[in-house]
Amino acid sequence: MRNKVLDVAEAAFQARGYHASSLGDLMAAAGVSGGALHHHFPTKKALALAVIDERVAAAVEATWIAPVRAAASAREGVRAVFEAVAADLEQQGFVRGCPLNNLAHELSLADPDFRTALARIFSAWRQAIADKVRTDQHAGREQGTDPKRFAALAVATYSGAMSMAKAAQDAGVLRDCLPALGEA
């Protein structure tokens, strides 16, 4: 039941946002009573923090961190993620945006607990890319690249591109960024 509520909340927060998703709507969609919901999530904030910590962090891990770690190089990993996300969005036919970005835009100023949870995910994402650049450097590649700056650029570029793709409902902007990332 807890996972069903998380599934429903994750989808609602992505589609409509946290503030536009009422607990009543979430309970109805999950098919649970208020008592059952509050047993696992005493407040809407607790539910949102669970979505951020369990679902959004896992999505960033699966979409970004694991592929970059597994790639032959940091740049190849970043390029592969941009391409894969663009292809998925084109197949899907619409762009809801990045779940992390969507919640960061909506919640970062609303509450320090939200801000901390979201910042922790951004930090892990950047750290994974920077660590991969350092691995590349130990292998004799990327000698002129500052790992932290490249990681910040990759995350910021993706985040901005996803916002632009959402506004335009066109994932092509992700591919438009690839040449510049290869040169950064």
Read off the pLDDT of residues 86-107 as tens digits, 9 standing for 90 and up.
999 999 999 999 999 999 999 9
- What's the pLDDT at 67? 98
User: How many percent of the chain have pLDDT more than 70?
Assistant: 99
Q: Are 9 and 103 in contact (CB under 8 A)?
A: no
Q: How many domains does the chain have?
A: 1
Would you say residue 28 lies in a domain?
no
Question: To 10 degrees, the CA torsion angle through 168, 169, 172, 175?
Answer: 90
Q: Is residue 153 one of the residues assigned to a domain?
A: yes
Task: Give pTM, 2 decimals.
Answer: 0.94
Looking at the domain assignment, is residue 22 inside a domain?
no
Which range of residues forms the domain containing residue 178? Answer: 51-183
